[in-house]
Amino acid sequence: MRIFGPLAVLSVYLSFLVFGAFSIDESLRQAFPIIEPDPGHTKLRLSREGLKAIERITTPIAAVAVIGPYRSGKSFLLNQLLSLSCDEGFGVGHLRDTKTKGIWVWGAPVELDIDGVKTSVFYLDTEGFESVGKSNVYDDRIFALATVMSSVLVYNLPETIREADISRLSFAVELAEEFYGRVKGQDVAFEPAKLLWLIQRDFLQGKSVQQMVDESLRQVPNAEGNKNIDQVNQIRDSLAIMGDNSTAFSLPQPHLQRTKLCELKDEELDPMYVKKRDQLKAVVSSMIRPKIVQGKSLNGKEFVSFLEQILEALNKGEIPSTGSLVEVFNKGILERCLKLYNVRMGNVGLPRSEESLHQAHEDSKAAAMLAFDEQHFGRHHAKKSAEQLIEEIDKVYKNFVLSNEYQSSKLCESLYTRCEEKMDQLQVLRLPSMAKFNAGFLQCNQSFESECVGPSKTNYEMRMMKMLGKSKSLFIKEYNHRLFNWLVAFSLVMVIGAWILFIFLETYTRMFWSSESLYYNPVWHGIVATWEAVVYSPVLDLDR
């Protein structure tokens, strides 16, 4: 027991881990909602149930979304692409109302190797267009959301392409133009979804689906200048951006009894359908690429964060315009660029001259605008975001100007006060000295000129000139008077000192010292040294 006990425990533990992992994977093999409509079917909201399945993915992500009219077989098509039965995969409804609400995701991604990169591919089912009780704005949001978040957009259409189907693309394509439409060769903010026109029809003779799509997108002749036709042609012009990224594919109906499709096996379906369906799988797989945003692929958490940003944009306002969406997407970029400006300006030491501060502002502003140009979304509507960034930068710059004025005033005031105190000290020297006053005056003036900077310098220079001039005038006026008094006092001291010296030399020394002992006395030596210093020095020679 001592030998096999631990092995048995380890075996049970490993079995538990394997079973647990299997259970987790199995639990994800179902459809989850990731986007739900609000009760009024006017706005969209996130559903965390499905987002958890996406967030756990650490590899690059790609999404294949199927859009189209309600009751057009989107859910069944997705199950066919995933090789799932109706019982296993997305729910397929046979009622007249739409089965799928919002956007659903199949929880178990398909792992593909794309250009040597392991990619997790999620398949998305979207709520059908034109169902009862919904506004066109809601349909447009679903369409736009699927367009922006997917790598491959399958536009599932029954029988043929209607003008309404082309018109419906206009808003999504306008988004594409704003988000993807950079000049070729430059970095793109988003990598556009590849559009697959999937036409399901019973007749395969005549025009190919590619010819059908090309003809539908061709300009309508308008010799009379009809405004309605002009609008139709404008939509066709906007769709040109999808030209390089679109493919057309036809798919026959799988069976005449469409209500029983979920009960039929491949052997019971139309052989032509089975063949074309397998071809469709290959076409979709060849179109899939990882979702690229800001030049990098997204993992699960980044994809969910990106989805949240899209949803915030689409829900902004009652009826979002392309401009409002671009503003929301650029909001984060604006904040980062403004932060860049603040950091660069924060590294500029204050106070400094107005010219120097303005040059630092221009350099920091240019760096922020360059970062915005490299990251922003959109071409046309991004102009408004750029103007907003400039406006915010100018507001911040005004604060730096005010701060510079305050710091300059504070510094110059301190230097002025220090000089004023210095001049007051020079006014009351015990021994008046013009040289000492001039040295202090010059030092004070030079330190002020070199250290006082900024917009307050001019004002304080005028104050300094007045204060220094007044101090010098007052010192000169008092200097002569005080010097005269000091000379009188010095003369008197010299006279008294001379008499004391005379008495000492002529009387005291003769009474107590002989001439020989006097000359060897330390006192006499001190007198001799003093005499020599006074009579001759490198500066003054009394003998001359």
pLDDT for 159 equals 73
Q: How confident is the model at residue 185 (pLDDT cuts 50, 70, 90)?
A: very low
Q: Could you say which DSSP state residue 263 is in? A: G
Same structural domain for residues 334 and 300?
no
CA–CA distances in Å: residue 226 to residues 162, 219, 220: 20, 13, 11
pLDDT for 10 equals 43
pLDDT for 21 equals 40
Model pTM score: 0.59
Contact in structure between 227 and 176 (CB atoms under 8 Å):
no
Q: How far apart are CA 173 and CA 169, in angstroms?
A: 6
Domain hosting residue 513, numbered range: 505-536
Bridge partners (DSSP) listed for residue 190:
293
CATH of the domain at 190: 3.40.50.300
- Please say if the pLDDT value at position 432 is more than 80: no
Q: What is the pLDDT of residues 278-319, one digit of tens each?
A: 999 999 999 999 988 877 899 999 999 888 887 877 776 544
| Weakest mean pLDDT among 5-9, 367-371, 432-436, 500-504 | 5-9
The pLDDT mean for the chain works out to: 79
- Please say if the pLDDT value at position 106 is more than 50: yes
Q: How many domains does the chain have?
A: 3
Phi/psi of residue 432, nearest 5 degrees: -65, 130
pLDDT for 24 equals 45
Bridge partners (DSSP) listed for residue 114:
117
Q: How confident is the model at residue 158 (pLDDT cuts 50, 70, 90)?
A: confident
Query: Is residue 20 domain-resident?
Result: no
| Weakest mean pLDDT among 97-101, 286-290, 445-449, 518-522 | 97-101
CA–CA distances in Å: residue 437 to residues 415, 418, 432, 442, 462: 18, 15, 8, 9, 21
Query: Is residue 6 domain-resident?
Result: no
Contact in structure between 340 and 98 (CB atoms under 8 Å):
no
Contact in structure between 33 and 50 (CB atoms under 8 Å):
yes
pLDDT for 184 equals 38
pLDDT for 134 equals 56
Q: DSSP of 172-183, one letter per residue? A: HHHHHHHHH-PP
Strand 152-158 versus strand 194-200 pairing type: parallel
- Please say if the pLDDT value at position 4 is more than 50: no
Same structural domain for residues 315 and 400?
no
Over residues 224-236, mean pLDDT: 72
- Please say if the pLDDT value at position 442 is more than 80: yes
Query: Is residue 2 domain-resident?
Result: no
Q: Of 296, 320, 344, at which residue does a domain stop?
A: 320
- Please say if the pLDDT value at position 130 is more than 70: no
